[in-house]
Chains A and B, each alone.
Chain A
Amino acid sequence: MNRNQINGKDFEGMLANAFNNILNREQEINSMNVFPVADGDTGTNMRLTVQHGLNAPSNMHLGFYLQGVAKEMLLGARGNSGVILSQLFAGMAKSLRNHSFAFPGEMRNAFIYGYRTAYKAVINPVEGTILTVSRLGIENVRRMIAGRISMEEAFKLYIDEMNKVLLETPEMLSVLKESNVLDSGAKGYILIIEGMYKYLLGEHIEKSDEISEVKIEKPAKVASFDENSEFLDGYCMEFHLQLMNSKNYKTTFSYNNFVKEIGEFGNSLVTVRNDSIIKVHIHTLTPSKVIDLAQRFGEFISFKLENMQLQHNEFSLGKEIEDIIAKEFAIIACVDGEGVASTFKEMGADYIVSGGQSMNPSVSDFVEAIKHIKAETIVIYPNNSNIIETANQAKKAFKNYHIEIIPTTSIMEGYYSLAMDIPDGDKESRLSSLKDGMENIITVSLSKAVKDYKDIKKGEYICCVNDKVVSGGTSPIDVLLNGLKKIKDLSSRSGAVIFKGKDNGLLDEDIESLFNDHFSNLEINILDGNQGVYELLIGII
């Protein structure tokens, strides 16, 4: 069947097909990752991002539907590849925002807008990746997507060209050539567009039976609410209201009167007051009236509104007011491991974003963290180069906040940065100390290879220095020693902090002996990090 246009409903089906396509090939994409260590789950990141996109409410209007998809993807985006993917769709959404349906030429423009938006979102765009493929994939064929071409033909041209460019990516990015792989993010994107294309052809991709371990979050039961539904259940509304003293607000606030008035707009009302913050939960058909009333007295610190007819997640009262951290200068850190989290908290981190084994939080994880803090200055430690962009995206959602991202690329940089903090200093001097602290730290990791890499076999130990593989073998102590010996100025360094991972098989005595015998200039401190991926994480100062 040849279509010459698609609407929101069509796009929804295309996206669901795309989801299954990437889901079925997720591990293949993961294995294309350049590093042997599983801290770059490109396939997983992209699958999760698309999965979040599926939570967007249905809409026949293509532009409105895509706006929802872009928003959900942004919140669920994980890792660099997830964030870039979300920006590709954000660009498409912007391009088509006023279109209830799109012709092939408009879809072409949307792909162009998509890659341009993605490039802008990346501080240092690298060629040979998803950016190049999405760009050249459409630029090389844009003149051909014109006239009477069908939507299916347009998609095919785009996909075929992207596949050609993909083959050239090893020539653009040396690390791909060394590892004899194509760019995983680019391949993942092609699979997504391919899944959309197959929907247009009438080929519905089913979830493979082999995919059993992957948890699939239930997307909203969108069939329960569409343009023909009768809206009866109302909204579940929940917010924290900061009462304000300024003359722009009503100065006399009576809690009892407030509760009485707000109760007239709905039911299941629960309110809690803590000094100048009121927490409200209400089920209402008229949220605008509740908002109007509340804003007479103050402004929202947090706000949640859900259509209860969609049978979303069970209503939760959310965090208690006491969980809001209120201070002048607050610190959010992304870490993996209970021990690492505990150390960071002792060192002054106020909120820990759990990165999980692969250090893979989403934008919404950071958004949630920021919502729980009321501070003049919020500092965020991504502690992984893949997460810096995710943190940046979260920062954009809070334009009126002063949020500083300390661009730490490892937990050890974060550790030493925090170690330099002097909590009683003024804001500028603290920020300066934190930025100084992360500089010139050598991060060393010891872990097991999850795939063959050069001479190193899967399952053997590998040692990385600042994310570069420097040694490998069967003996962890030997691999670590050989790796440390490759560091040029180690004799001029003074100390090392060592976080032991959850599955670490090395004894403290062995680690101490290694350093005492070979690097006695380094004073060491061994801590239980309980991190998942790395047996040892070492920061050398």
Chain B
Amino acid sequence: MEKKFAIMPDLTCDLSEEYQKEYGIDVIMGHYVTPDGVEHDSALNWKNINKEEFFKELKKNPNGFKSAPPSIGECYCAFVEHIKKGEDIIAMTISSTLSGTYQFMVNAKEMALKEYPNAKIEVVDSRRFGPGFGLMALYAAKLRNEGKSFEEVVNWIHENKNRFHQSGWMDDLSFVAKKGRLTHAKAFFGSLVGIKPCGEFDYNGLTTVIGKAKGEEQAYKVLIKYIQEHIENPEEQIIFVATSNRDKQAEAFKKLLLENIKVKDVRVNETFVNVSINIGPGLMAAYYLGKPITEGLKEETESFARILQEVK
């Protein structure tokens, strides 16, 4: 596919190689460290690592694994590769409140512009993390592929980033809390068997628990109704359902989404190593475009509480 400009998210977009190829997205990779202290190059696949063993080990030793973003130098090299092809670049990063990647990419842009002053590089803070970020990158690439200009795509991202929702649960919030990707980490975030804390993105992409459902059945019912209330133009949308080792639940959720909401498509995606290190096993959530998220998640929290009462 001939690209007018490159869409380059960092690896926390968690888009598989299949999506990257399908949409023409160039992910800038990072690294991760295993409990033995060895650093590995990240990959958005499970070719070099056994998934079951990884999640088993991760659950036993959550602090043993560490994720690392691409360095300034690695970002610079990735930019230069596309500059040399004559391509402009929209670089997208994980939320700047969650990682220093945005600053690294800005630094890398400045380095690249010194050497290639005519290059056009825009670094965009996605204000999201994980599959929500990945969906945003996918939309950006889709707009580009439909013929939208560089500026139109950049503007679209800025105007719509706060419309990317996360609606799902995490069985164990302690991972997210420890890595600083959870707001208000004051409560007990261990594994609460049977209780499903349901999370939504706040403005900065931090996961915030907006309510808790008792059991999967109740959680599915509440989440479907919640999505029905908050999604916009579902018939034009692809919804991602991300799972970190909750494949069975993700498939069940996909089925319910297709039965209850008229969407273009629902795709189940697993999370890969770097995102899983920060989310832990137990994520099962849908990502979609909806109403702008309100400040402090006030409306979202009220809506969840009301729906919870209705489904009881």
Verify if A494 is at the interface (C-beta below 8 Å from B): yes
B194 touches A495 (CB 8 A): yes
* B46 close to chain A: CB less than 8 A: no
Check if B190 is an interface residue, CB within 8 A of chain A. Answer: yes
For window 162-208 of B, CB contacts with A under 8 Å fall at 183-184, 186-188, 190-195
Residue pair B187, A348 in contact (C-beta under 8 Å): yes
Q: Evaluate whether A496 and B186 lie within 8 angstroms (CB atoms) in the complex, with A429-B305, A437-B214 already known.
A: no
Contact indicator B215/A541 (Cβ below 8 Å)? yes
| Contact B191–A525 (Cβ < 8 Å) | yes
Question: Which residues from A are CB-within-8-Å of B217?
Answer: 492, 494
Q: Is A425 an interface residue (CB 8 A)?
A: yes
Least Cβ–Cβ distance between B257 and chain A, in angstroms: 20
**Given that A420-B212, A436-B214 are known contacts, is A496 also in contact with B193, CB under 8 Å in the complex?**
yes
Interface range, B side: 20 to 34
Nearest opposing residue in chain A for B214, CB measure: A541
B190 partner residues in chain A, CB cutoff 8 A: 346
Q: What residue of chain B has the Cβ atom nearest to residue A495's Cβ? A: B194
Find out whether the CB atom of A346 lies under 8 angstroms from the CB atom of B209. no
- State the majority secondary structure of interface residues on A: mixed
| Minimum C-beta distance from B226 to chain A (A) | 15
Which of B187, B188, B195, B308 is A416 in contact with, Cβ under 8 Å?
B195
Which of B191, B192, B193, B216 counts the most A-chain CB atoms under 10 A from its CB? B193
Which of A416, A492, A494 has most B Cβ within 10 Å? A494
Provide the residues of chain A in CB contact with B191, threshold 8 Å: 525
- CB closest chain-A residue, reference B188: A347
- Residues of A contacting B211 in the complex (Cβ-Cβ under 8 angstroms): 422, 433
B99 is an interface residue with CB less than 8 A from chain A:
no
| Contact (Cβ within 8 A) A541 B187 | no
Q: Which residues of B contact A418 (CB under 8 A)?
A: 188
Contact bitstring A152-191, B, C-beta under 8 A = 1, else 0? 0000000000000000000000000000000000000000
* A523 proximal to B (CB < 8 A): yes
Contacts of B183 in A (CB 8 A): 424
Cα distance A315–B209 in the bound complex, in angstroms: 48
Q: Which of chain B's residues have a CB closer than 8 A to the CB of A425?
A: 301
> Does chain B have a CB within 8 A of A419?
yes
Given A416-B194, A495-B193; A424-B215 close (CB under 8 Å): no
When A347-B187, A423-B186, A436-B312 are in contact, do A541 and B212 touch as well, CB less than 8 Å?
A: no
Contact of B187 among A422, A440, A493, A523 (CB under 8 A): A422
| A416 shortest CB reach to chain B, Å | 7
Identity of the chain A residue whose Cβ is nearest the Cβ of B196 in the assembled complex: A494
Query: Are A496 and B184 CB-contacts (below 8 A) given A429-B305, A433-B212?
Result: no
Interface residue A413 (Cβ < 8 Å from any Cβ of B): no
Is the CB–CB distance between B193 and A523 below 8 Å?
Answer: yes
Residues of A356-411 contacting chain B, CB below 8 A? none
Within 8 A of A (CB), among B263-312: 301, 305, 308, 312
A429 cross-chain contacts in B, Cβ below 8 A: 301, 305
With a cutoff of 8 Å between Cβ atoms, the chain A residues found around residue B212 in the complex are 419-420, 422, 433
Given contacts A419-B188, A419-B212, A424-B186, contact A497 B193 (CB under 8 A): yes
Interface of B is mostly: mixed
Q: Is the CB of B214 within 8 A of A348?
A: no
Q: Chain A 411-444 against B: per-residue CB contact (8 Å), 1 yes, 0 no?
A: 0000010111111110001001100110010000
CB within 8 Å of A: which of B243-273? none
Distance in angstroms between the alpha carbons of A151 and B277 in the assembled complex: 79
Q: Which of these, A346, A424, A432, A523, contacts B194 with CB under 8 Å?
A: A523
Chain A contacts of B188 at CB under 8 A?
346-348, 418-419
Q: Closest CB-CB distance, B121 to chain A, in whole Å? A: 39
1/0 per residue, CB under 8 A from B, across A213-234: the answer is 0000000000000000000000
Most-contacted residue by chain B among A348, A424, A432, A493 (CB, 10 A): A424
Asked whether, in the complex, the Cβ of B187 is within 8 Å of the Cβ of A496, the reply is: no
Which of A348, A422, A492 lies in contact with B209, CB distance below 8 A? A422
Inter-chain CA distance A492–B186, complex, in Å, is 32
**Contact of A332 with B by CB under 8 A:** no
Query: What CA separation (Å) do A223 and B191 show in the bound complex?
Result: 58
Tell me which residues across on chain B come within 8 A of A496, comparing CB atoms: 193-194
- Please give, as numbers and ranges, the residues of chain A lying within 8 Å of B195 by CB-CB distance: 416, 419-420, 437, 495, 541
Q: Given A348-B187, A424-B186, A494-B215, A541 and B305 touching (CB < 8 A)?
A: no
- The 8 A CB mask of A475-512 against B (1 = contact, 0 = none) is 00000000000000000111111000000000000000
Q: A494-B194, A497-B193, A525-B193 are in contact. Are A423 and B216 (CB under 8 A)?
A: no
Q: Which residues of B contact A424 (CB under 8 A)?
A: 183-184, 186
Cα–Cα distance between A425 and B211 once the two chains are bound (Å):
9
Question: A421: which of B187, B215, B216, B312 is its contact (CB, 8 Å)?
Answer: B187
Closest to A426 in B: B301
Q: Which partner residue on chain B sits nearest A498 by CB separation?
A: B193
Q: What residues of A have a CB within 8 angstroms of the CB of B209 in the complex?
A: 422
- A420→B212 CA distance, assembly (Å): 6
Bound-state CA distance A238–B214 (Å) is 47
- Smallest Cβ distance from B220 to chain A, in angstroms? 11
Nearest A residue to B208 via CB reads A424
CB-based nearest A residue for B171: A523
Which residues between 506 and 524 of chain A lie within 8 Å of chain B, taking CB atoms? 523-524
* B183: nearest chain-A partner, CB-CB: A424
Instruction: Across the interface, name the chain A residue whose C-beta is closest to B211.
Output: A422
A-chain residues with CB within 8 Å of residue B186 when the two chains form the complex: 348, 423-424
Would A419 and B216 count as touching, CB distance under 8 A?
no
A98 nearest CB across to chain B (Å): 52
User: Bound complex: CA of A429 vs CA of B210, how far in Å?
Assistant: 11
Q: How far is the CA of A523 from the CA of B186 in the complex (A)?
A: 25
How many angstroms between the C-alpha atoms of A424 and B212 in the bound complex? Answer: 13
Smallest distance from the beta carbon of B102 to chain A beta carbons, Å? 27
A524 to B192, CA, bound (A): 10
Question: Quick check: A493 and B215 within 8 Å, CB to CB?
Answer: yes
Residue of B nearest to A428 (CB): B305
A347 to B186, alpha carbons, bound, how many Å? Answer: 9
Q: How far is the CB of A493 from chain B (nearest CB, A)?
A: 7
Complex interface: chain A residues within 8 A of B308 (CB): 436
- Per CB-CB distance, the 5 closest pairs between chain A and chain B, nearest first, are A495-B194, A541-B194, A495-B193, A347-B188, A494-B215
Can you offer 27 A-B residue contacts whose CB atoms are under 8 A? A346-B188, A346-B190, A348-B186, A348-B187, A348-B188, A416-B194, A416-B195, A416-B214, A419-B212, A420-B212, A422-B209, A423-B184, A423-B187, A429-B301, A433-B211, A436-B214, A436-B312, A437-B195, A494-B217, A495-B193, A495-B195, A496-B194, A523-B193, A523-B194, A525-B193, A541-B193, A541-B195
Supplied contacts A346-B188, A420-B212, A541-B195, 16 more A-B pairs, CB within 8 Å: A348-B186, A348-B187, A418-B188, A421-B187, A422-B209, A423-B184, A429-B301, A432-B305, A436-B214, A492-B217, A494-B194, A494-B215, A495-B215, A523-B193, A525-B191, A541-B215
Contact surface of A with B, Cβ cutoff 8 Å: 346-348, 416, 418-425, 429, 432-433, 436-437, 440, 492-497, 523-525, 540-541
